[in-house]
Amino acid sequence: MCLAIPARVMRLDGGKAQVDFGEGVLRDVNVTLVDAKVGDYVLVHAGYAIQTVDEEDALETLALWKEILAAEKEQGS
C-alpha cells in the first residue's frame, strides 16, 4: 500500500518546494508533476507532490493522521 500525505506549499524554487506537513515539519519536495502555488496543499509521496488538494480535505486528513498516531502512542505506553 502506498501513502501520500498532504502538505502546504511554503516556498517555491523552480521545480522544488518547501512544504509543511504540520506542526513545523518542513521538507523539500519535487513539484514538477503539479501546478502548485505558495499556500496550496499538495499530496506528497516519496518526495514528489503528485496532486493538489483543497485545504478542507488536507486539514481533515492531517487531523485523522494525528488521531491515528496518538492512538498508536497510547497503545505503546
- pLDDT score at 2: 79
CA distances from 65 to 4, 38, 42, 58, 71 (A): 11, 23, 16, 11, 10
What total number of domains does the chain contain? 1
Distance CA 65, CA 21 (A): 11
Asked if residue 77 has pLDDT above 70, the reply is no
Domain that holds residue 60: 5-76
CA distances from 72 to 24, 28, 32, 51, 60 (A): 21, 27, 34, 28, 19
CATH of the domain at 13: 2.30.30.140
pLDDT in tens, 11-51: 999 999 999 998 889 999 999 999 999 999 999 999 999 99
Q: What is the CA angle 10-13-18, rounded to 5?
A: 30
pTM, rounded to two decimals:
0.86
